[in-house]
Structure 1
Amino acid sequence: MEKKDTIRIKILPVMFGFFIMGFVDIIGIAINYVKQDFIFLNDTLANMLAMSCFFWFLVLSIPTGMLMNKIGRKRTVLLSFVLQVIAFCIPIISYDFIMVMIAFAVVGIGNTLLQVALNPLVTDVVQKGKLTGTLTLGQFVKAVCSFLGPIITSWASGMAFGWKLIFPVYAVTSLIALVWLWLTPIEESKKGETVSFRMTFKLFNDTYIVAFFIGILVLVGVDVGMNTTFPKLLMERCGLELNEAGLGNSVYFFARTLGALGGGIFLLKYSETKFFTFSVLLAAIGLVGMLMTGNLWAMLACVVIFGLGYANLFAIIFSLSLKRVSDRANEVSALLIMGVSGGALLPPLLGVVSDKFGTQMAALLVIAIVWLYMVWLIGKVKGINSK
C-alpha cells in the first residue's frame, strides 16, 4: 500500500505536466483572435503564428534530448515550465503582433522541452506494462486542458481585459506545475548511451520509426490545422461570431477528452493494432462528413466523430515506438517530438489555400487528403505487431 501511495504521489505532478502541455493547443483559437485584433492580417500571415510556435520542435528536439541526458528528465521538464511562465507573461507586458509572435515562439520552445522529456519521465514512475495506458491517460489530461482553453477564452472575451486574460491564467498555472514537480522526488533510471544527432538520426534506419515519425508530423499538422480552420469554417458556413465559433474547438477537444478516457479502457481489452485501425477510419468518416455538410449541428457531430477517432493515435504511435526501441527512449522521444513540427508545416499551407480559393472548405479538403497517410499507416502498424 505504501509503495502504491508513493507511485501515486510521483505520478500526479507528472500528469499535471500533460495538462501544461495542452497549453500549446490554445494557438488555434488565438490565431483567430489575433487576426481580429490586427486588421492587416490575412489567413496566410495569421497562420504564421503556428509556424513561430511549432518550428522549434524541428530544431530543438534532438538538442533537448542531449540536454536531458546531461541534466536529467525532471530538470528538463522544470526548465520547460519556467519558459512557459515567461512566454505567457510577454503579451501581458506588451501586446502587438511581434510580441505575440515572440510569446508563441517561447511557448514552442518550452513545449518542445516538455514533450521530449515528459514522456520518458513517465517511464520512471510507472511499470513498463502500464506505459501505453499511462501515456493515453496523459493525452486525456492534455485533452482536458485543450477543451477548457477555448471556453476560458470565449468567456474572457467579454471581460475588460478581453480574450488575453488567458495569458495570466496560463502563467500562474505553469508556475504551480513548476513548484509541484520541483518538490516531488523522482528517481530517474540510469542514463544510457549519450544522445547525439548521429545516434538519433540512426533510428531512421528502422523503416517503422520513419513511418511513425511521419505519422506524428501528420497528426500534429492536422490537429493544429483543424484548431485553426474549424472556427473559421463555422463562421463562414454557419454565420457564427468568433466567440461562438471558437467554442467549436471546445466541442472537438471535448470529443478528444472522451476518446482518450475511453481509449485507456479499450486498450486494456483490445490490441493496439485493432484500436489504431478503428480510430483512423473513424476520424476519416468525420472529415468526409464535414466536407459534405453545412448544417451547424451536423458539422459539430462530425468534428466529434473526428475527435473521438483522433484522440489516442499519438499515444499509440509513441508507445509502439518506445517499445520497439526501448533501450533508446530519450532518442526515440526526441525524434518523434521533432514530428510535432508538423504543426508549423500544414497551417501556413492551409492559410495560402484558403486565401487563394476564398473558402475554408479548400483548407479542410487539404486536411482530408493529408489524412490518407494515416490510413496507409494502418498496414505498417499491423506489420509491427505481426513480428
Structure 2
Amino acid sequence: MGVERVDRRLLGPVLAGFFIMGFCDMVAPITGRIAAEFPAERQAAVSFLPTMVFLWFLVLSAPFAAWMNRRGRKTTALAGYLLTVVGLLVPYAAGEGCALGWYFAGFGLLGIGNTAIQVAVNPLLATIVPAERMTSYLTVGQIFRNTSLLLLAPIVTGLVAATGSWRLLLPIYAALTVAGGVWLQLTSVPEPPRSGTSVGLAACFGLLKNRAVLLSALGVACFIAADVGIGYLSVRLIDNPSSILTTTGFYACRIVGTIVGAWALVRVRDTKYLGWNMAGVLALCLVLLFTDNGAVIYAAVGLMGFGMACVFATFYSVATRAVPERANEVAGLMILAISAGAVSGPACGAVARAAGSPHWGMLFVAVLVCYMLWASVKLTNNEQRI
C-alpha cells in the first residue's frame, strides 16, 4: 500500500475494535468473583470458564476467515460485535445467583464473537495503514486493548462498592460494544476485492513447514496461554477482595512496556528484545512461586505485564517476514494459536489444587515462558543467518 498518511477518521473506529477485543480477557480474572457464588465441589467446573472463550479460536477462526473473504472484513467485525453483545447480556439477564450454565453459554458466545473480531480487525487495520508501518500500528492497537483490560479492576471495584455486585460490568461492556459497532458501521472503510477463496485449516497448517512460522505460532500459543494463566492466578495470589487490582498493575505496566517497546524495537532486533524480556519474566515466575508478600506480588505481576508487552507483535511480525506473500494465512494461523488460552484455566487450577496453593500454578506459566525464551534465541540465530 503506497499511502504515506493514515486517515485518522478511519483509524479511530478500527482501533476501537482493539478496545472491544479486550473484553474477552476479563473472563480469567472475573472467574474468581464467579467462583465465590458456587460451592467447593463446583470450583473445578468454574475453572473451565476461560476455556469457553478461547476454544472457539481453534474451531471457528478458519470458517470466519473464509466467510470474511466472501462478506468483507467490516461485516465480519460487526457480526463479532453482535455476538459479543449477546454473550455479555445472557448471564446478566439470567440474574444474580444464576446457574453456572448461563455463564458457560454467555462466555461461549463472547468467545465466538471475539474470534470474528480478531479475524477481521487485524486485516481491517492493514487496509488503512502503510505496510511498512503495520507493526507500529499493531502495537498501538495492543495499547487500546490493554487499556480496556486496565480499566477492568477499577470498574469492578467501583461497582462492588456502589451496588455490592460486579455484574453491571456485563451491560456496560455490551453498551460500549454497541457504540463501537455503530461507529464502525457509519465509517466507510476501504477493503480489498472479495475473492470468495476459502481459507481452510490445511492452508493455515501448511505454513508450519516453515521453521520461523512454526516457532512463532507456538510462541503465540504459549504467550496467550501464559497471559490467561497470569490473569487466572494473579487474583488468587492475594487473599483479599482487592486482589483483582493486580490486573490493573499488570495491564498498566503492559501499556508502559508497549510504549517502551515501540521505541526500543526501532533500535534493537525484535527477537533479541523478546529474549531479554522473557528472561526477566521467567525470573518473576520463580519469585511468585515462593512469596506471600502482597507488595512483592503486586510488583512482580506488574513487571510481568511490562515483559509480556511486545510478545504477540514480535512473533506475528517474524512469521509475516518469513512468508510475506502468505500474510492472510499467517493471520489465520495466529488466530488459531490464540485457542491455546483454553487450556490455562483448567491447567492452572489443577496444579494449584494438587499443590494446595495457587502459587504453584505459576509453574505452568514458567514452562510456557521457557519455550518463548528458547524460541527467541532460535529465531534470532535464524534471522542472523539470512
Asked if Structure 1 and Structure 2 have the same fold, meaning a TM-score greater than 0.5 normalized by the shorter chain, the answer is: yes
TM-score using structure 1 length: 0.93
Residue 283 of structure 2 is matched in structure 1 by 285
Tell me, in whole angstroms, the C-alpha distance in 2 between the residues paired with 1:322 and 1:120. Answer: 13
Amino-acid identity (%): 29
Residue 221 of structure 1 is matched in structure 2 by 225
Q: Which among 370, 375, 381 is matched to residue 368 of structure 2?
A: 370
Residue 50 of structure 1 is matched in structure 2 by 50
Q: Residues 4 and 330 of structure 1: is their aligned pair in 2 closer, same or farther, counting only changes over 3 Å?
A: closer
Q: Which among 157, 176, 195 is matched to residue 160 of structure 2?
A: 157
| 2:61/2:332 contact within 8 Å kept | yes
Tell me, in whole angstroms, the C-alpha distance in 1 between the residues paired with 2:72 and 2:368. Answer: 36
Secondary structure, counterpart of 2:163 in structure 1:
coil
Residue 238 of structure 1 is matched in structure 2 by none
| 1:282/1:308 contact within 8 Å kept | no
Q: Measure how far apart 1:78 and its partner are.
A: 1.2
Q: Measure how far apart 1:197 and its partner are.
A: 2.7
Q: Which among 93, 117, 121 is matched to residue 120 of structure 2?
A: 117
Which consecutive residues of structure 2, in runs of 5 or more, have no partner in the other structure? Answer: none
Residue 25 of structure 1 is matched in structure 2 by 25
Q: Measure how far apart 1:319 and its partner are.
A: 2.0
Alignment-mate amino acid for residue 69 of structure 1: N
Output aligned runs, 1:159-308, within 5 Å: 159-160=162-163, 162-190=165-193, 194-235=198-239, 241-242=240-241, 244-308=242-306
Which consecutive residues of structure 1, in runs of 5 or more, have no partner in the other structure? Answer: 236-240
Q: Which among 336, 339, 359 is matched to residue 338 of structure 1?
A: 336
Alignment-mate amino acid for residue 94 of structure 2: S
Deviation sequence 1:214-266 (CA, Å, 0-9, x none): 1111111111111111111111xxxxx22x01111111111111111222222
Answer with 106-115 or 365-374: which moved more. 365-374
Tell me, in whole angstroms, the C-alpha distance in 1 between the residues paired with 2:335 and 2:19. Answer: 17
- Runs (4+) of structure 1 exceeding 6 A deviation are 3-6
Alignment-mate amino acid for residue 134 of structure 1: Y
Q: Does 1:130 align with 2:128?
A: no
Alignment-mate amino acid for residue 157 of structure 1: V
| 1:43/1:354 contact within 8 Å kept | no
What CA RMSD, in Å, does the superposition of the two structures yield over aligned residues?
1.8
| 1:15/1:138 contact within 8 Å kept | yes
Q: Measure how far apart 1:161 and its partner are.
A: 6.3
| 1:220/1:340 contact within 8 Å kept | yes
TM-score using structure 2 length: 0.93
Q: Does 1:144 align with 2:142?
A: no
Secondary structure, counterpart of 1:338 in structure 2:
helix
Residue 60 of structure 1 is matched in structure 2 by 60
How many aligned positions are there? 379
Q: Measure how far apart 1:370 and its partner are.
A: 2.4
Deviation sequence 1:71-116 (CA, Å, 0-9, x none): 1112111111111111111122104211111111011101111112
| 1:83/1:107 contact within 8 Å kept | yes
Alignment-mate amino acid for residue 138 of structure 1: G
Q: Residues 112 and 321 of structure 1: is their aligned pair in 2 closer, same or farther, counting only changes over 3 Å?
A: same
Q: Residues 6 and 212 of structure 1: is their aligned pair in 2 closer, same or farther, counting only changes over 3 Å?
A: closer
Answer with 323-332 or 169-178: which moved more. 323-332
